[in-house]
Amino acid sequence: MSAGEFRAAVSDGGITRWLSGEGPAVLVLHGGPGLSDYTASLAAELEDAYTVIRYQQRGLAPSTTSGPFSVTRHIADAVAVLDAAGVRRAYVVGHSWGGHLAMHLAVRHPGRVLGLVIVDPLGAVPDGGLADLGQNLTQRTPPELAARAVELDERAMAGQGTAADALESLAIVWPGYFSSPEAASPMPPLQISAECYAGTFASIQAHFDEHTLERSLPALAMPALFVLGGASPIPARHGVATADLIPGARYQIEDTGHFPWLERPGSVRTALDRIRG
């Protein structure tokens, strides 16, 4: 496969993807939802031994910005990216919401997934850690700013907020995603689709209500390793409870926050090497 930027065709437009490196194929799924791709630094950790495929999820340019925004549509986009890359089966590395999406992809299309590395995810057992995430970010944020962030996030979740509102909220709580907020990495230049954020979370909640992953994960037959941040605002117990649903899945808890590869370079690469065997 040639390196560079490519377009994967989908029924309502295209998904922009990037290829780098050489070796077994790895599909990287960024978090959000509705967030611009931020995984270039993660790809750089992998690409000396793997062909890394990453893409901008729908909702933001340069991919299609149209909806509807649902878990099912995001799964179809991931499959379209693999097809366009000429990849039948790939390892999948998913971070945060991307880890949650990776599990849905694996249970819907197990023949396309060689193994899973799930990095500090939204868990599979309702509510996946969302309530704890909100509470912990609030506690790690100065009170006068935390109230503003909660107001903006509630507006976004209700589908009433703007992209500017969502970005302001994220910037306020960003340091709280790290093990030491005072030493947090600067927030990269990000964009947010408030429509994708609200629509996808509504779909996630519907799957929680139906216990989709709880019912499906025990049937998975593939290697899976969870990389969890011991100081993440999503407590590691949610990742551990999710890993326990997958036969033979393992987990490693790092002394990091929500972005293990930034605070402990090599942690995700080591996990991927382990499931590859």
Q: Do 123 and 40 share a structural domain? A: yes
Task: Indicate if the pLDDT at residue 2 is higher than 60.
Answer: no
> What is the chain's length?
277
Q: Do 89 and 19 share a structural domain? A: yes
Number of domains within the chain: 2
Q: Do 112 and 178 share a structural domain? A: no
Q: Do 229 and 157 share a structural domain? A: no
- Quick one: pLDDT band at residue 6, thresholds 50, 70, 90? confident
Q: Do 213 and 113 share a structural domain? A: yes
Q: How far apart are CA 210 and CA 132, in angstroms?
A: 21
Q: How does DSSP assign 160-216, residue by residue?
A: ---HHHHHHHHHHHGGGGSSSGGGPPPPP---B-HHHHHHHHHHHHHHHHHTHHHHH
Q: How far apart are CA 277 and CA 275, in angstroms?
A: 5
- Quick one: pLDDT band at residue 3, thresholds 50, 70, 90? low
Task: Indicate if the pLDDT at residue 177 is higher than 80.
Answer: yes
Q: Do 219 and 93 share a structural domain? A: yes
Work out the mean pLDDT of the chain and round it to a whole number: 94
The reply to whether 124 falls in a domain is yes
Q: Do 159 and 246 share a structural domain? A: no
94 and 119 in contact (C-beta within 8 Å)? yes
The reply to whether 194 falls in a domain is no
The reply to whether 189 falls in a domain is no
Domain at 204, CATH number = 3.40.50.1820
Task: Indicate if the pLDDT at residue 240 is higher than 90.
Answer: yes
The reply to whether 135 falls in a domain is yes
Q: Do 16 and 153 share a structural domain? A: no
Q: Do 216 and 113 share a structural domain? A: yes
Q: How far apart are CA 273 and CA 246, in angstroms?
A: 19
Distance linking the first and last C-alpha atoms of the chain: 23
Residue 6 DSSP symbol = E
The structure tokens listed for 169 are 């909220």
Q: Do 144 and 121 share a structural domain? A: no
Tell me the average pLDDT across 215-231.
98
The reply to whether 190 falls in a domain is no
The structure tokens listed for 240 are 């551990």
Q: Do 101 and 29 share a structural domain? A: yes
Residue 57 DSSP symbol = P
- Quick one: pLDDT band at residue 277, thresholds 50, 70, 90? confident
Q: How far apart are CA 70 and CA 38, in angstroms?
A: 21
The reply to whether 73 falls in a domain is yes
- pTM for this prediction: 0.95
The reply to whether 166 falls in a domain is yes
The reply to whether 24 falls in a domain is yes
Helix (H) or strand (E) holding 7: strand 4-10
Note the pLDDT of residue 9.
86
Note the pLDDT of residue 165.
86
pLDDT digits (tens, 9 = 90+) for 35-91: 999 999 999 999 999 999 999 999 999 999 998 899 999 999 999 999 999 999 999
Q: Do 120 and 47 share a structural domain? A: yes
Tell me the average pLDDT across 107-119.
98
Q: Please report the sign of the dihedral spanned by the C-alpha atoms of residue 101, residue 103, residue 104, residue 105.
A: positive
Structural domain boundaries enclosing 40: 4-128+200-276
Q: By three-state DSSP, how is residue 84 classified?
A: helix
pLDDT digits (tens, 9 = 90+) for 127-174: 999 999 999 999 999 998 988 988 887 877 676 778 888 889 899 999
